[in-house]
Amino acid sequence: MLRSGQNMTSFRDLTANTFSRLVRIPGIVVSVSVLASRATKLHLMCRACRGTKILYPQQGLGGIGSGGDRGLPRVCDAPAPEGQKKDCPMDPYQIVHERCLFVDHQTIKLQEPPDMVPVGELPRHMLLSADRYDDYILRARYNTNVNIGT
C-alpha cells in the first residue's frame, strides 16, 4: 500500500495541474464493480502457421478491441516456413490463456464527503479505476469512508 503524508485535496481543488501527480482525496464509496481480470500481457498464436506474437495492452479504461487500431492483429506477420507458401487467413490469431498475464481490476465510484460540500451544492462524484494488487480492490465496500492516493 502506498502511504503519503501529503495534505488532503478536495474534489473541487483538482485541476489540470494535479493530473498525473500524487494527491490524497477523502470520499465515500458509493458503488463498487465486480472484480474482473485485465490482461497485461497477451500471448497470441496463429491458427494456420502456429506463429506466435506477444501484445502488451494499453492500460487505463480502454484495452484490446476498444476503438482505433487497438484490437488483435488482422493478419499474421510471422515469416513463412522455408520453402513453403504462407497461407494464413484473415484474423488468424487466437489467445493462449495459459501464457498470458492478468491483474485484478475494479471500478470504484467515490463521492465527495458531506462536510466538504459547499452549502446549497450537490456532492461531486469520481470514477476510480483500481488495478493490480491494490488494497482498495480487497477492502473497498459500499458506504465506506476512504482516503485515496492517486
Which pLDDT does position 22 carry in this prediction?
77
Give me the residues of the chain with pLDDT under 50, please. 66-68
Q: How far is it, in rounded angstroms, from Cα 129 to Cα 84? A: 48
- Tell me how many domains the chain contains: 1
Residue 60 lies in a domain: no
Residues 36, 39, 41, CA angle at the centre, nearest 5°?
160
Domain that holds residue 29: 23-35+104-149
pLDDT digits (tens, 9 = 90+) for 10-32: 888 888 887 777 778 888 989 88
Which pLDDT does position 104 carry in this prediction?
82
- Kindly report the CATH number assigned to the domain that includes residue 141: 2.40.50.140
Question: Rounded to a whole number, what is the distance in angstroms from the first to the last CA of the chain?
Answer: 12
Residue 29 lies in a domain: yes
Which pLDDT does position 121 carry in this prediction?
92
Looking at the DSSP assignment, which residues form a beta bridge with residue 108?
32, 128
Which pLDDT does position 34 carry in this prediction?
84
CA distances from 128 to 13, 44, 100, 142 (A): 17, 30, 25, 14
Q: How far is it, in rounded angstroms, from Cα 102 to Cα 85? A: 36
Which pLDDT does position 133 carry in this prediction?
55
Which pLDDT does position 99 carry in this prediction?
94
pTM recorded for the entire structure: 0.62
